[in-house]
Amino acid sequence: MHPCLRITEILDLIISFMVDERIHEPGEVCGIRHQGIARLARTCKAFKDPALDVLWRTQPSLSPLIMCLPNHLWTVKKEQSDWVVTLREEPSPKDWLSLQKYSHRIRAFNYCSRRQPPVCPRTIDTVFSPNLSQELFPRLRTLDLEVIGHGPAFPSLHPIPLLNSTSLPQLVRLTFAISHTDLFGLPWLHFKPACAPSLQALSINVRRGRFDPLVVNFADFPSLQSLYLSDVPSRGGWEWIRLQHLYDLTATLPNDFDIDVNSSRQPILPSLQRLNLNVGTLNPVTKLLSSTASSDLDSVKVSCRPPATLSDTYALFRAIERVHERSPNLGTLDVRYSYPIASSPIHPSTFNGPSYDLPRSTLALLLVCRHLRVLKLRVTGTLDIDDAFVTKITHSWPGIEVLYLYGSSQDIPRVSLEGIHELLWRCQRLSSLTIQIDARIVPEEEPQTRSLSLEALDIASSRMTGGRAVEQYLRILAPKLKSLMLPGHRGFPDISY
């Protein structure tokens, strides 16, 4: 064997070609070529350890580890619709410790491209007992209990008691779900920080009912940097707004969410960089944005159901205007409203109630955000923009990369192909554009400037008569287009480029 293959760094580089790059990104699905890496591990002793490290690094289940025990200790049987790995008899301490040559390599229990059968709940309880978990998983950094405890065999898996009996000193990322809301309030369902003293990212999915503030006292986790909470309680449990190191927050807020800025001397979310909220009204978002002390806010994403009124939207955009004063580098703003009727875009004027239209005077509040790279607005009603406003956009957001402007009304758009020409001419970084235009008049002259950055253009909700002429004009204007959506495509345009 060539001497260079004995260098660990070179071996790691060779093996990296068999690993999907997404394996290194939190929350992404692990993808590796298991058979190829397994063959590499059997090739020679020099390849064995580096290959096994990659092969075991991310696991979707405990079953591969349990099946490394002697055959007489475990079996696979069908429970309801799933095949489940179960223990026939309790392994001895020596048997458990024999797994260390593999378990010490595990860094994450997370989604993986290769599905494995789950293990029974009793086995999970045993493996994650205080003494054994620390012996088996001293380097475990990511634990998703929804992955290792899935399927019909796990309706009774209680994550909090399991976690409280575990000792994982290196764990930094934890995900679990809560379904049994009828048991909330019991002291043994309080998540204790001792089981994961290094925790930095926490995701809690509430399957039924509301999250009980007794489950987690966020004051016990002052170093938390990332938080996903699928259902914030209406009363109590709001200590997370005082987390001084939290930079990534995703949550579903109740309509009566409020902040008492005088309740503590600590600033509110001073390190916040990314905010993603699901709400029933914009008021909680406006209150949170108005109270946060962060000067590094980079991304704000809001999904509102039902659609927000003009007055609520105006208050939100004013709050974003004030956020820009503290965080001048705000780069992403994504605001989406639900439709009153999901089957078709019907103008809200047919309904009795407040206006859902978005006038230019309200949109103009966002023009102060000079560093926007991504802007997505999906509103219920008329999005009142024209060529003159497009000109203002080009002056205010010259570095825009993704622009999505969509209103659900059937009014004739007021942006022309000439307005699109100016937008692409001045915004040379724009790679994805969704907009409604009036393309019934095609300029006679070919566009003199070209956009070499635009790859996706969606004008499917526009007015147009000569489709071939419009397509020809746009392809000359943007010669590197990979995706072009014209009127006639069914359904609403996709905003996930």
Structure tokens at 370: 């000079």
Structure tokens at 464: 């147009």
Distance CA 319, CA 284 (A): 11
Mean pLDDT calculated for residue range 344-370? 75
3-state secondary structure of 275: strand
Is 316 buried (19+), middle (13-18) or exposed (0-12) by CB count in 10 A?
Answer: buried
Total Cβ atoms within 10 A of residue 219: 11
Task: Please name the residues in contact with 388: beta carbons below 8 A apart, sequence gap of 6 or more.
Answer: none
- Higher-confidence position of 365 and 354: 365
Q: How far apart are the first and last CA of the chain?
A: 47
Instruction: Compute CA distances 362 → 309, 315, 316, 358, 433, whole Å.
Output: 12, 9, 10, 7, 21
Q: Does position 21 have pLDDT exceeding 50, yes or no?
A: no
Q: Does position 301 have pLDDT exceeding 90, yes or no?
A: yes
Name which of 108, 269, 250 is nearest 174 in CA terms.
108
Distance CA 18, CA 147 (A): 23
Mean pLDDT calculated for residue range 265-284? 93
Distance CA 241, CA 219 (A): 10
Residue 492's pLDDT band (boundaries 50, 70, 90)? very low
Name which of 358, 367, 447 is nearest 409 in CA terms.
358
- Please name the amino acid found at residue 158: H
Name which of 51, 95, 53, 56 is nearest 72 in CA terms.
95
Residue 15's pLDDT band (boundaries 50, 70, 90)? confident
Tokens 């990511």 belong to which residue? 142
Distance CA 455, CA 475 (A): 10
Q: What is the pLDDT of residues 104-143, one digit of tens each?
A: 999 999 987 677 888 988 899 899 988 899 999 999 999 9
pLDDT value, residue 150: 63
Most confidently predicted of 96-100, 147-151, 444-448, 464-468: 96-100
Q: Does position 481 have pLDDT exceeding 80, yes or no?
A: yes
Total Cβ atoms within 10 A of residue 469: 14
Task: Please name the residues in contact with 233: beta carbons below 8 A apart, sequence gap of 6 or more.
Answer: 210, 211, 212, 213, 254
Structure tokens at 204: 């809690």
3-state secondary structure of 7: coil
C-beta separation of 415 from 392 below 8 A: no
Q: Does position 332 have pLDDT exceeding 90, yes or no?
A: yes
Task: Please name the residues in contact with 171: beta carbons below 8 A apart, sequence gap of 6 or more.
Answer: 140, 141, 142, 143, 196, 198, 199
Residue 496's pLDDT band (boundaries 50, 70, 90)? very low
Mean pLDDT calculated for residue range 358-380? 95
Distance CA 271, CA 269 (A): 6
Calculate what percentage of the chain has a pLDDT beyond 70: 85
Distance CA 416, CA 162 (A): 60
Element (H, E) at 147: helix 145-148
C-beta separation of 118 from 148 below 8 A: yes
Distance CA 240, CA 221 (A): 9
Element (H, E) at 396: helix 387-396
Residue 494's pLDDT band (boundaries 50, 70, 90)? very low
Positive or negative, the Cα torsion across 322, 323, 329, 335?
A: negative
Phi, psi of 300 (to 5 degrees): -130, 120
Strands 82-87 and 74-79 come out as antiparallel
Name which of 153, 158, 210, 202 is nearest 181 in CA terms.
210
